[in-house]
Copies of this chain bind each other. A is one copy, B any other.
Amino acid sequence: MRDDEKKHGGARIGAGRKKGSGKFGEPTKVIRVPESKVEPIQNWLERQKRSKQNWAGLLENSGFAVHQPANDSYVSLPLFSHKVVAGFPSPADDYIETTLDLNEKLVRNKEATFLLVVEGDSMQKAGIQDGDILVVDRSIEPTDGKIVIAALDGELTVKRLSVKSTGTWLVPENDNYPPIPVREEADMVIWGVVTATISQF
């Protein structure tokens, strides 16, 4: 076969890169901006891309997602990410990452969830303050490291559960209080695992 006959391809329809296959997934434009703002803007663009993916993924996995609540209440509030907003604080534009219903976000298992008003400051370091509302899920397995509601001899406490080979402890997150040893599982009734805490100002 002669060289000039060695041909592949050739003119054809349908060839060529697809539209929207670029890094931004949409048409682009060149604009002129001050030098000092180039990096912030590009960082922001990067975050915009990533955060969209993240939230989508997060919502997917966590089951909070946008799908179900037909008969339940659904109050959609715009949710911003601080990071994303930090550089470009304009509520008017499309910086809204997603919308979120607080009940949905905070309550995974409605039947097993209850709220509790905190008294005392023994969990201050974990961000739990006196007067906070705790969201407690009784369907979650209380494992080592989880913050739990435990009734010790009828005394209700919020502590971090520590299950080690040396024994089980209820550990306050406040240096002024000592860890409490749990001698037997018998003295302790765990009500549930704290999934969130809400402080109102």
Instruction: Tell whether, in the assembled complex, residue A191 and residue B89 are in contact, meaning their CB atoms are under 8 Å apart.
Output: yes
Question: Considering the chains assembled together, what is the distance between the CA atoms of A45 and B88 in angstroms?
Answer: 9
A143 at the interface (CB under 8 A from B): no
Binds B, one of A6-14, A78-86, A175-183: A78-86
Instruction: Tell whether, in the assembled complex, residue B41 and residue A35 are in contact, meaning their CB atoms are under 8 Å apart.
Output: no
Question: Considering the chains assembled together, what is the distance between the CA atoms of A114 and B99 in angstroms?
Answer: 9
Q: How many residues does chain A have at the interface if contact means C-beta atoms less than 8 Å apart? A: 100
Instruction: Tell whether, in the assembled complex, residue A107 and residue B102 are in contact, meaning their CB atoms are under 8 Å apart.
Output: yes
- Known pairs A28-B34, A73-B71, A201-B147; A156 contacts B64 (CB<8 A): no
Chain B residues whose CB sits within 8 angstroms of the CB of A186 once the complex forms:
none
Question: Considering the chains assembled together, what is the distance between the CA atoms of A128 and B127 in angstroms?
Answer: 7
Chain A window 58-101, contacts with chain B (Cβ cutoff 8 Å), 1 for yes, 0 for no: 10011111111111111111111111011111111111100111
Chain B residues whose CB sits within 8 angstroms of the CB of A189 once the complex forms:
88-89
Question: Considering the chains assembled together, what is the distance between the CA atoms of A37 and B73 in angstroms?
Answer: 34
Q: How far is the CB of A75 from the nearest CB of chain B, in Å?
A: 4
Could you give 23 example pairs across A and B, Cβ below 8 Å?
A29-B34, A30-B31, A30-B32, A31-B38, A33-B41, A37-B48, A40-B90, A44-B90, A67-B78, A69-B74, A69-B75, A69-B76, A70-B74, A73-B103, A77-B115, A78-B115, A79-B116, A81-B116, A83-B117, A86-B119, A100-B133, A196-B199, A196-B201
Chain A positions near chain B (C-beta within 8 angstroms)? 24-45, 47-48, 58, 61-83, 85-96, 99-103, 105-107, 110, 113-120, 126-129, 132-133, 138, 146-147, 151, 154-156, 189, 191, 194-201
